[in-house]
Amino acid sequence: MKGLFAVEGKRVLVTGGSRGIGLMIARGFVEAGATVYISSRKAEVCDAVAADLSRLGSCVSLPADLSSEAGVQHLVTQITAAEPALEVLVNNAGANWSAPLADYPGSAWDKVLNLNVKSIFLLTRSLVPHLAGAAKPGDPARVINIGSIDGIRVPLLDTYAYSASKAALHHMTHVLARALAPQGITVNAVAPGPFESKMMAETLDRFRDAIVASCPLGRIGEPDDMAGVAIYLASRAGAYVTGTVIPVDGGISGCV
């Protein structure tokens, strides 16, 4: 069992890695000995977070705005110039939009679907050669998509585009898993429940007590919960897992 969950020396790219779920995952990989690249839209924030994480291990800032195809290509150019191959891609960058049904704008669908689905497809497709170049027999390269339990069950807020985008991402995970398996790349999704993050702030402000009461494990998620599932999927322990969506929500979506 020694080394079953080891990720030392693996090269990992985490999009949206400067805050929230992405930061939880990036910190976990850094502390576990991986070489981590984080990307986010605001360069100064990305640089500051990477400098902070570098005190714990190896972390490099690669700022990029993934809301456009040009931004995706900019990130691809940066990571391929920095590394000849990539063992792990964590697609975490995303956006949300909440508004009543009657007022929900069409522009929200464009923004949320572009970032939460299209950009993930484009980035993953562009990095397939780099991922395949890192794959080894018994140790495939890994793509980890960050979905949401809001793509599994009806959300508490009026986040129509967000929940639809996460359901789409979950299904795209299944499709990509089949397509990329022959090249030695696994594709899985993690569907977080309630965690302390900027995206969850409004929901937790309004519904914290109800969420905790509805959670079989009786608490909000903690950073180690996200880091742990990502490291599992990236390590030898998760080498035979692909095409799955793993809820990390204390049982909220499964214990009904």
Which sequence positions are flagged as catalytic? 162
Q: Report d(CA 222, CA 128) in Å as an integer.
A: 31
Using DSSP's 3-state secondary structure scheme, residue 192 falls into strand
Strands 141-146 and 88-91: parallel
Q: Report d(CA 134, CA 140) in Å as an integer.
A: 8
Q: Are 90 and 120 in contact (CB under 8 A)?
A: no
**What is the DSSP code (8-state) at residue 153?**
S
Query: Who contacts 146 (Cβ-Cβ below 8 Å, separation ≥6)?
Result: 16, 21, 22, 25, 90, 91, 92, 94, 189, 190, 192
**Alpha-carbon distance values, 113 to 202, 231, 248 (Å):** 21, 27, 23
Q: Report d(CA 252, CA 44) in Å as an integer.
A: 36
Q: Are 20 and 46 in contact (CB under 8 A)?
A: no
Q: Report d(CA 160, CA 108) in Å as an integer.
A: 9
Number of Cβ within 10 Å of residue 2's Cβ equals 5
Q: Are 89 and 144 in contact (CB under 8 A)?
A: yes
